[in-house]
Amino acid sequence: MHYKFIRLLNGFRLILAPMPARNSTSVSVWVKTGGRYESLNELGISHFIEHLVFRGTDNRDALEIKQSIEGIGGHLNAFTSEECTCFYAKTPPRYASRAIDVLSDMALNPLINNSDIIKEKGIVKEEIRMYKDMPQHHVHDLLHEIMWPKHPLGQPLAGTCKSVDKLNRKAIKRYHQGYYNPGNMVIVVSGKIDAERVLSKVKSIYTKLKNRPSGKYIQFKPSQTKAATKLSNKKTEQTHLLLGYHTPKRNSRTRYALSVLSIILGGNMSSRLFERVREQKGLAYQISSSLRKFDETGAIIIDAGVKNKKMLESISIIFNELSLIKKEFVTKRELSDAKEFICGQLVLHLDSTINNALWIGEKILLNDDVINIKEIIKKIKAVEADELLHIAQNIFKTENLNLAIIGPVSSNKNAILKRVRNFA
């Protein structure tokens, strides 16, 4: 897929991703800030601003923002992660300029008034309470807390009810001004595009803006020397467990092999964990493996919801599979199928204009050094079984193990800790 990169004099970046056969245009506006940029006094502020901009801008009230996109059959949304904030829209092609205008207005010109802040605090606190009542979600917060202790990566993205209550207009405006500036932003336009018209629109909005230095985040320095656990005893219908291991940074040379390893372990319905835990033993409805990727660190995470009475058996089976994959080569069939799955999923994913706008935007914003799809597929296809064995041996160690569980675990605490200590 062809991408055209344009950098304005003030550092603002525009990426055009033409997909002329599509009947839609998607726009994503990215800001390089998120949960890991926050101090403890600002916890949840990135996510709060993402909410607040929908309340109104200097040019549109809240209803006008929504109607301007939904009134033309479009879709409008936003999200916050540890390292970025994104506002995006998908519209019919003739409304691409409107999407650029609305999203840019939201990002650059939010009202940030006290009455809106008060209203949004109530909404965000209800969101925090909702996720705390969902053990399959809250268990992720517990895992992050022990994997990245006393570090912003280990804090909940939405903050806490207490931290949200402390946010005020002055702090919010200061944070917004510190990060929402042209050198810290990227816009991607994907789909059926009138390139000249898009460029003209972007220039009319962003050229006049002055760039300012943006804040930096605290680097994570790994120091784990022994297994860590976080066990939360709660009466639940099933036990929710997460098993996490630290992995190298986002742009590590091992990242393609890690992706293949994760797929073989639990990345789809053909994976080892899905077959063993769900299909053969019937212990879980959901079990999977996934990767978290950050600038200087990462993680491979196994996620499962299992029968309460079969929790110990499930942990033992997962540990057995991890021990096996670092002792023996994966089969040729497993390796081939995992590669084809990753490459096929990537191509299918990017067949959508909105997915394309989000994929390329995140890569550019976070300085991913490989954005050519053909090159990525080539690197995936080049992964060998001995690489997977070497990576598994380096990652799946007892001293790199982190286990978080929510469920009726009090009577099994000692047995859980014994299995963790005996993992090899």
User: Tens of pLDDT along 162-211?
Assistant: 999 999 999 999 999 999 999 999 999 999 999 999 999 999 999 999 99
Least confident of 37-41, 56-60, 70-74, 228-232: 37-41
Record the tokens describing residue 27, joined without a space.
Answer: 């726009």
- pLDDT, residue 32, reads 97
- pLDDT, residue 75, reads 97
- pLDDT, residue 424, reads 76
Domain span at residue 94 reads 4-206
Co-location of 100 and 189 in the same domain: yes
- pLDDT, residue 213, reads 86
Angle between helices 169-179 and 45-52 (to 10 degrees): 90
Mean pLDDT of the chain: 96
Q: What confidence tens digit (pLDDT) does each residue in 285-328 have?
A: 999 999 999 999 999 999 999 999 999 999 999 999 999 999 99
Is the residue at 88 inside a domain? Answer: yes
Is the residue at 37 inside a domain? Answer: yes
pLDDT exceeds 90 at position 368: no
pLDDT exceeds 90 at position 230: yes
Can you tell me the distance from the alpha carbon of 243 to that of 38, in angstroms, rounded to the nearest whole number? 26
- pLDDT, residue 369, reads 77
Boundary of a domain, candidates 206, 236, 254: 206
Co-location of 193 and 238 in the same domain: no
> In the 3-class helix/strand/coil scheme, how is the chain assigned residue by residue?
CCCEEEECCCCCEEEEEECCCCCCEEEEEEECCCHHHCCHHHCCHHHHHHHHHHHEECCCEHHHHHHHHHCCCCEEEEEECCCCEEEEEEECHHHHHHHHHHHHHHHHCECCCHHHHHHHHHHHHHHHHHHHCCHHHHHHHHHHHHHCCCCHHHCCCCCCHHHHHHCCHHHHHHHHHHHCCHHHEEEEEEECCCHHHHHHHHHHHHCCCCCCCCCCCCCCCCCCCCCEEEEEECCCCCEEEEEEEEECCCCCCCHHHHHHHHHHHHHCCCCHHHHHHHHHCCCEEEEEEEEEECCCCEEEEEEEEECHHHHHHHHHHHHHHHHHHCCCCCCHHHHHHHHHHHHHHHHHHCCCHHHHHHHHHHHHHCCCCCCCHHHHHHHHHCCCHHHHHHHHHHHCCHHHEEEEEEECCHHHHHHHHHHHHCCC
Is the residue at 412 inside a domain? Answer: yes
The domain that contains 317 carries what CATH number? 3.30.830.10
Co-location of 165 and 282 in the same domain: no
Co-location of 127 and 257 in the same domain: no
- pLDDT, residue 63, reads 97
- Domain count along the chain: 2
Is the residue at 261 inside a domain? Answer: yes
Is the residue at 215 inside a domain? Answer: no
Co-location of 200 and 270 in the same domain: no
Boundary of a domain, candidates 206, 239, 273: 206
Co-location of 69 and 118 in the same domain: yes
Co-location of 115 and 44 in the same domain: yes
Boundary of a domain, candidates 172, 206, 240: 206
Is the residue at 216 inside a domain? Answer: no
- pLDDT, residue 393, reads 98
Is the residue at 211 inside a domain? Answer: no
Co-location of 265 and 385 in the same domain: yes
Co-location of 232 and 124 in the same domain: no
Co-location of 187 and 238 in the same domain: no
- pLDDT, residue 371, reads 82
Co-location of 236 and 151 in the same domain: no
Which residues have a catalytic role annotated?
50
Is the residue at 121 inside a domain? Answer: yes
Spatial CB neighbours of 178, under 8 Å, sequence gap ≥ 6: 212, 214, 215
Amino acid in position 167: L
Co-location of 163 and 293 in the same domain: no
